[in-house]
Amino acid sequence: MELSRRDRLSELVEQLTTSGEPQLNQASMKEIKKICKVSNDCIDHVYHSVISQLNQEHAEVRLSAFQIASELFSRSHHFRTLLVDNFQEFLELTVETDSEQPLPPPKEVARKLRSLAIQTVQSWQTSYGAAYKKLALGYHFLKQVKKVDFQDAEARTVAERSREVDRQRKMQRIYKERVEAASKDMEESYQEIEATLTEMESCMSLLFPEFDVIDIQTTNSSPPSSQPANECLSVEEQPCCSKDLKDDGREGMMQKKESREEKKREEEEEDDNDNEEDEEEEEEEEESGEEEEGESLDEHLFIRNSGLISHAYSLDLNLSPGLRVKETEDNEAVVSTVKDLHRLITNKHLPAVQGWVQVFTKSGAEQQLLRRALDLKRSLEATLQKHQELHIDYKTRVRKVMKAASDGEEDDDDDFDEVPEKEGYEPHIPEHLRAEYGLDPSPSTSTAAVTNTPPAQRPAAPPPLSSSSSSSRRLKRLTEEDQDPTCAAATLRHLKQNLPLPKQSSSSSSGPSSSQSSSDQKAVGAPVVPFGLDLYYWGQEQPNAGKIVKMSSQHQFWVPIDVDEEVENKELLAESRSRYISFPGSFTPVNHYCSASLGNGKLCQRQDRLKCPFHGPIIPRDQEGRPCRQEDRLREEQEKRRKSEEQPDWRDAELMRDIEAATGENLGSDRVGKKGKGRKKKYPNLSDLKQGANTARSRLEKKVLNKSSMRRIAEVMAKADRRKHDKFSNQFNYALQ
C-alpha cells in the first residue's frame, strides 16, 4: 500500500514537472494533495522528489516543481519545515541567489520562475515569517543582501537596476556630446552651406531665367507691342542659356507663367514665317474682318493684339513636360560649377545635415537647433529638386584636363604610352609602325636599308604621325642607339642588314596580299609541328645520333678502366629519326539515350557513351525500354531476380512484427525496421534545450568542426609534419619540434 502510494506520487510529480506547461494540471495536483494528506511520510517523499526536480537543469521543470512546492507549502506544516530547513538551496534554485548558479534555460521561463518565486517568498513571509525564523532570514537576505525589490514587477535585482541607470546615464552623456559636436559642426558649416546654396541658386538662374509673378505682372501691364521685344531682350540678356533652351521647353515655362492669350500670340509671332497655316489664318482673318466689321472694339483689339481671328481659334502646342538644358561651350563653366555644387551637396552637405537632424531628434535637443537643421535640409533638398527639374545634359567631358596639359607641354613620353608591348624579332612590320621601329617608312626604302643606307639620311622622311620636333629628336636618339651594340636598336639593325626579308621576295614576285592568302590556305590543312632535331636533320644522316657519351671521370689521373666512353642506344636513335604525332580525333557528342524503363513509365534519359551508372551497358532497347536482343533481356531478368532475393518480401518489418506477436518468437523485426530511427524523446512536452539556435555560426560549426573534416585536417597536418620530419629529421632545429 505504502509502496504503491510512493510510486504513484513519484509518477505524479514527474508527470507534472515534465508537462512543460505554465500551469499545473489541477487533477494531478489534487491527487498529490490527497495522497499527501494521509501521512508525513508521503510529504517527505513528495518533498524529496520536488527538490530533485528543482535541481534539474531545465527552467520549465523547475517552474512546475516550484508550483507544486508552493501548493504544498500553504497546506502542510511538515512540508514547510522541510522546505525552510533547506531554504538556501531552494532560493538558489528558484531565485538565483548564487550568481554562479544561474537559472537554466529557456530564458523566458526562467524569468517567470524567478519573479513568481520572489512574489511567493514575499507572501510566505507575510503569512509564515513570524513562525519560521529561517524563512524570515531568507526574506531579509533577499531584501537586504540581494537587494531584491519585492514591489518591482520585473523583480530585478539592484544590480540590474543600477546597470540600467548607468546605461541610461551613459547614453545621455553620449547624446549630449553628439549634440554638442553636431551643433558646433553646424555652426561651422552653416556659412558654407549657405554659400553653396546661393551659388547654386545663381548658377541655376543663369542657366535658366526666373520668371517671377512680378515679371508677369509687369509684362502684362506693359504695352503688348513691346512685350515680345522685352521678352527677347530678357532672354538675350542671359549670356549663355537662351540658345540652349529647346523651344518646347521654353514654351512649357511660358505656359506656367503667362496668360494663355499672350502665349498664343507669341506662338503666332514665332511661327508665322514658316507655317503654311499662317497664310490661311491670314486669309481667314481677312474674311472674318470683313464679316465682323461692325463688331465691338474689343474684338479688334484682340485681333490686333493677338493676330488671331477669333477667340475660338485653337492651337495645338506640343509641350514637353520637363525642361532641358544642354551643355554647350557657352555655358560650360556654369554647368560645370552646377555639377560640382550638386556633387558637393549630395555627397557632403546633405548627409551631414541629415546626420544632425538624426542626432537632434534622437537626443531630444533644443527645438531651435532642430528647426535650423530641418530648414537647412529642406532648402538643400529643394535645390536638388530644382536641379533635377532642369535636366541638364552634361557633356561627356573625358580627359579634357589631360588634353589641355598635353597641349601645353611637349612630352614625348606620351607617344610611347600607347605602344603595345612587343617581344622578339618581328620580320613583318606594318607600314605605319615602321617609323616607330626606327625603320624606313616604306618597303622600297627598306630595300635601300638593306643596302646599307646610312642612318643619318633617315630624318629626311619624317613619319607623319607625331609632331615633327619630337620625332626628329627621337630619331636622333635612335641613331645614337644604333651605334651602341648593347641596345635593341643595334640588334635590329644588324638583323635587318643580315637577314634577307622573306616578305620582300614574295612581294616582289606577286604582291603581298595574294601570296599571303595562298600560304594561309595551305596552313589550314597542315598540322603545326614543333621544331625538333628530326626536322633539323631532315633527310640527312645524323652523325652521332643515339650515342650516349659517358662523362669520363673529372679527376686528373684517376680514370676507371672498364668504361665505354660511348654507348649506342637504339631507342634514342629511333627517336631522333622519327616523330610521333598524336591524333586525338574530334569530339562527337553522344546521341543515344540509356532508355531503360524507370518503372514509372518513363525511360532513362541519361546520355552516357558506353555504360549507364544505373542501368549498366547501353544496349539497344525498344519503345518500352526492353532490350531488343535476347541475351540482354535474359541478363536483365537475372539481375532483377538477384536483387529481389537480397531483400525478400517477408522481411517487411510490419509483417514480421505481426508474425512475432502471433507466434511469440523473435524473428528480429526490430533489427530490420529500426534502422536509423532515433530514440524517442523522453519528455516531448518540454522545450528542447539541446536544440541549438539555428544561427550562421552553428551551421558553420557543424560544417567546419564535424568529426570527419577534423580528422581529415588532422591527417593532412600530420602528413605535412611527417614529411618535414622525414626530410629534415637530421637537422636539430626540426628534430626539436
Say which amino acid occupies 249.
G
Q: Which residue(s) pair with 393 in the sheet?
A: 326
| DSSP secondary structure letter of residue 533 | H
33 touches other proteins by CB under 8 A: yes
d(CA 463, CA 440): 9
User: And the C-alpha cell for 393?
Assistant: 545634359
Rounded CA-CA distance 410/408 in Å is 7
Cell numbers at residue 422, please? 612587343
Q: Check binding of 175 to other proteins (CB under 8 A).
A: no
Strand 392-393 vs strand 325-326: parallel, antiparallel, or unpaired?
parallel
Query: 11, 23, 130, 592: which one contacts other proteins (CB under 8 A)?
Result: 130
**Is residue 74 at the binding interface for other proteins, with CB under 8 A as the rule?**
yes
Judged by beta carbon, residue 81 or residue 363, the one nearer other proteins is: 81
Q: How far apart are CA 422 and CA 29, in angstroms?
A: 95
Beta-bridged to residue 568, according to DSSP, are: 547
If one asks whether residue 171 binds other proteins (CB under 8 A), the answer comes out as: no
The type of residue at 62 is R
Q: Does 133 bind other proteins (CB under 8 A)?
A: yes
Q: Which of 21, 22, 30, 195 binds other proteins (CB under 8 A)?
A: 30
The nearest distance, CB 154 to other proteins, in angstroms, is: 22
Alpha-carbon Rg of the chain, whole angstroms? 51
Alpha carbon distance 176, 363 (integer Å): 7
- Asked if 75 interacts with other proteins (CB under 8 A), we say yes
Question: In the bound complex, what is the minimum distance in angstroms from residue 155's beta carbon to other proteins?
Answer: 18
CA torsion angle for 676, 677, 683, 687 (degrees, to 10)?
70
Give the separation between CA 22 and CA 115, rounded to whole angstroms: 13
Instruction: Give yes or no for residue 720 binding other proteins (CB under 8 A).
Output: no
The residue from 22, 57, 77, 358 that contacts other proteins (CB under 8 A) is 77
Query: Which region, judged by CB under 8 A, interacts with other proteins, from 70-78, 579-587, 631-639, 643-651?
Result: 70-78
Q: Which of residues 99-128 bind other proteins (CB under 8 A)?
A: 127-128
Provide the minimum distance between the beta carbon of 116 and other proteins in the complex, in angstroms, as a whole number: 20
Residue whose CB is less far from other proteins, 127 or 368: 127
Peptide bond into 106 cis (omega under 30): yes
d(CA 268, CA 275): 9
Nearest Cα residue to 566 out of 549, 553, 589? 549
- Give whichever of 77 and 163 is closer to other proteins, judged by the CB atom: 77
CB of 186 to other proteins, least distance (A): 49
Candidates 15, 28, 88, 447: give the one binding other proteins (CB under 8 A).
Answer: 88
In angstroms, the Cα distances linking 661 to 649, 654, 668, 669, 691 are 18, 11, 12, 11, 37
End-to-end CA distance of the chain: 71
Q: Is 158 in the site for other proteins (CB under 8 A)?
A: no
Q: Between the CA atoms of 23, 24, 26 and 31, what dihedral angle is there, to the nearest 10 degrees?
A: -170
Question: Does residue 95 interact with other proteins by CB under 8 A?
Answer: no
- Per CB under 8 A, contacts with other proteins among 36-55 are 37
Out of 64, 70, 76, 306, which residue is the one contacting other proteins (CB under 8 A)?
76
- The residue range among 140-148, 183-191, 245-253, 595-603 that interacts with other proteins, by the rule CB under 8 A, is 140-148
Using the contact rule CB under 8 A, the part of the chain among 132-140, 185-193, 421-429, 656-664 near other proteins is: 132-140
Side-chain-side CA neighbours of residue 432 (13 Å) = 4
CA angle, corner 553, sides to 548 and 558, nearest 5?
145
Pick from 64, 66, 6: nearest CA to 38: 6
Q: In this complex, which beta carbon is closest to other proteins, that of residue 27 or of residue 404?
A: 27
Would you mind telling me the total number of residues written for the chain in this entry? 737
3-state secondary structure at position 590: coil
Least gap, CB of 83 to other proteins (angstroms): 13
User: Given the C-alpha cell 638583323, which residue does it identify?
Assistant: 495
Identified binder of other proteins from the candidate list 13, 91, 197, 254, rule CB under 8 A: 91
Rule CB under 8 A: is residue 491 a binding residue for other proteins?
A: no
Count of Cβ atoms closer than 10 Å to residue 65 Cβ = 25
Q: Is 140 in the site for other proteins (CB under 8 A)?
A: yes
Choices 111-119, 129-137, 336-344, 356-364; region in contact with other proteins by CB under 8 A = 129-137
Closest to other proteins by CB, 35 vs 186, is 35
Minimum CB separation of residue 9 from other proteins in Å reads 14
Choose which of 2, 41, 57, 85 interacts with other proteins (CB under 8 A).
85
Task: Select the residue interacting with other proteins from 48, 78, 339, 547 (CB under 8 A).
Answer: 78
Q: Which is nearer to other proteins, 92 or 412 (CB)?
A: 92
Nearer to other proteins, 81 or 504 (CB): 81
Count of residues of this chain found to bind other proteins when the rule CB under 8 A is applied: 29
Interface with other proteins (CB under 8 A), residue from 11, 145, 255, 431: 145
- Report the residue number, 140 or 611, with the smaller CB distance to other proteins: 140
How many Cβ atoms sit within 10 Å of the Cβ of residue 63? 26
What is the β-pairing status of strands 547-549 and 566-568?
Answer: antiparallel
Q: Where are the alpha helices (DSSP H) in 18-95?
A: 26-38, 40-54, 59-73, 77-85, 87-94
- Host H or E run for residue 586: none
The reply on whether position 28 binds other proteins by CB under 8 A is no
By the rule CB under 8 A, 86 interacts with other proteins: yes
Cα 144 off chain centre by: 56
Question: Can you spell out the DSSP letters for 342-354?
Answer: HHHIIIIIHHHHH
Cα–Cα distances (Å) from 229 to 219, 232, 234, 517, in that order, read 11, 5, 8, 71
Q: Smallest distance, Å, CB 64 to other proteins?
A: 19
Could you tell me the three cell numbers for 351? 548627409
Nearer to other proteins, 143 or 243 (CB): 143
CB of 143: closest distance to other proteins in angstroms?
Answer: 11
Cβ at position 132, least distance to other proteins in Å: 7
Q: How far is the CB of 92 from other proteins (least distance, A)?
A: 9
Beta-sheet pairing, 611-612 with 616-617: antiparallel
**Smaller CB separation from other proteins, 137 or 216:** 137
Nearer to other proteins, 130 or 529 (CB): 130
Backbone angles phi, psi at 597, to 5 degrees: -75, 140
In the complex with other proteins, which residue's Cβ is closer, 142 or 594?
142
Using CB under 8 A, which residues numbered 680 to 709 contact other proteins? none
Task: State the minimum distance, in angstroms, from the CB of residue 78 to other proteins.
Answer: 8
Binding site for other proteins (CB under 8 A): 30, 33-34, 37, 74-78, 85-88, 91, 97, 127-128, 130-134, 136-138, 140-141, 144-145
